[in-house]
Amino acid sequence: MTNTLAPFAPPQRILMGPGPSDVPAHVLAALAAPTLGHLDPVYLRIMDETRQMLQQVFRTQNQLTLAISGTGSAGMEACVANLVERGDEVIVCVNGVFGGRMKDVAERYGAQVHTVDAPWGATIEAEAVRAALAAHPRTKVLGIVHAETSTGAHQPLEEISTLVHDAGALLLVDAVTSLGGLELRVDDWRIDACYSGTQKCLSCPPGLAPVSFSAAALAAMDARKTKVGSWYLDMALIRNYWGSDRVYHHTAPVNMTYALHAALATVITEGLDARIARHGLHHRALRAGLQALGLTYIPARSLTSLNAVHIPDGIPDARIRTRLLEEFGIEIGGGLGPFKGKAWRIGLMGASSSRRNVTTLLAALETLLGEEGGASTNSGAVAAATKVYSA
């Protein structure tokens, strides 16, 4: 019987949504390298190098820094599952989808969860955290999102970290949309548990979740009275595989580790400071162009990696995004939750953060908004971005 199925050939897109981001060719090529056994000495060396590079990118000396087999959500669950026991008091800061998810996960592991809430698009105020810690003095962990992907809000952490540690609690941070693209200092900011994903500012395919745990977090894990609720995400088992003992836990995603290794090498070669500056430059240029089109930002304090803007009245959200994809090959994201149909989320993460992408998107949006009645075709969006680049 003849097999008539044609090989799958995905289209080439410009990925400017909330993730994944564009993946460089050499990172994709790493996925196609020969697969080794997960205990092969050569692969173990790649694991060690990956761990060391993750320490550099997290800006930490934490020994328990590695990549969880799974997406960023697995990183979130690993942090919660290992730090929280049933009955523990936990505070979660909620100002968007991903703070809400952290709350949900903590509740599933039996925590008594208290929330510090802020409107979508706003950041969490330090005084609200101070009040919550005073009201709940038995708090073990406070969780907060550094880069809220659902709203584009960029959360300051340093003052909150001081409050958390003064109260004797541990600080858990979601850095899924900030690691490798925004300023993030795990040691300097005394972050006890931090998780991210490979598909955002690291520009690697989705599939691994970088995590880092402080000595205090490790001590809290070792002092547990009960087993971790998830066998797969139990760091007591995983760290024996990533550490010197090399005790088998699960079959690691070998080729994904190759890809992450290549992506991290790219980050380090560019330099973290230079990479952060690049994200800032393209954000400013995009912002100038979007404002020339009459689009306004949702958060007062915006991420440089994720730009969330209001959709003008009368403009069809889904049709514009569909036309961007089909006519220009550009993907951007729609709004979530209360922002559904009311916001666009435009990613400038990793390899996607480039002048080519900024000007291509602005030109396409200017055309489509003009055709849909939302802006003059002479609004000068590209010229506004070019002015930023020239400066």
pLDDT value at position 6?
A: 83
pLDDT value at position 1?
A: 55
Portions of the chain given CATH number 3.40.640.10: 25-269
pLDDT tens-digit series, residues 341-352: 999 999 999 999
Spatial separation of the C-alpha atoms in residues 321 and 68, rounded to whole Å: 33
Q: Whole-model pTM?
A: 0.96
Topology of 25-269 in CATH?
Aspartate Aminotransferase; domain 2 (3.40.640)
Please enumerate in sequence order all residues whose Cβ is within 8 A of that of 203, keeping only pairs 6 or more positions apart, or say none. 21, 22, 23, 24, 27, 263, 266, 349, 350, 351, 352
DSSP summary character for residue 223: T
Spatial separation of the C-alpha atoms in residues 281 and 140, rounded to whole Å: 39
Spatial separation of the C-alpha atoms in residues 144 and 352, rounded to whole Å: 26
Is 144 in contact with 174 (CB distance < 8 Å)?
yes
Is 319 in contact with 313 (CB distance < 8 Å)?
no
Longest dimension (CA), the chain: 72
Query: Using alpha carbons only, what angle is made at residue 194 by residues 91 and 92, rounded to the nearest 5 degrees?
Result: 15
Q: What would the two tokens of residue 333 be? A: 């994201």
Query: Using alpha carbons only, what angle is made at residue 197 by residues 196 and 202, rounded to the nearest 5 degrees?
Result: 105
Spatial separation of the C-alpha atoms in residues 303 and 280, rounded to whole Å: 9
| Closest among 186, 185, 180, 172 to 200, alpha carbons compared | 180
Low-confidence ranges of the chain (pLDDT < 50): none
pLDDT tens-digit series, residues 42-79: 999 999 999 999 999 999 999 999 999 999 999 999 99
Q: What would the two tokens of residue 89 be? A: 């008091």
pLDDT value at position 244?
A: 85
Is 134 in contact with 163 (CB distance < 8 Å)?
no
Which amino acid is residue 3, in one-letter code?
N
Torsion sign (Cα): 375, 377, 383, 386 = positive
| Domain at 272-390, CATH homologous superfamily | Aspartate Aminotransferase, domain 1 (3.90.1150.10)
Q: Measure Cα distances from 1 to 4, 7, 8 in Å.
A: 9, 17, 20
Portions of the chain given CATH number 3.90.1150.10: 272-390
* 161-165-170-171 Cα dihedral, nearest 10 degrees: 0
Spatial separation of the C-alpha atoms in residues 4 and 331, rounded to whole Å: 31
pLDDT value at position 374?
A: 63
pLDDT value at position 372?
A: 86
Torsions phi, psi of 15, nearest 5?
A: -90, 105
DSSP summary character for residue 351: G
Q: Is 216 exposed, middle or buried (0-12, 13-18, 19+ CB in 10 A)?
A: middle
Q: How many CA atoms lie within 13 A of 136 on its CB side?
A: 20
Spatial separation of the C-alpha atoms in residues 79 and 81, rounded to whole Å: 6
Is 333 in contact with 346 (CB distance < 8 Å)?
yes
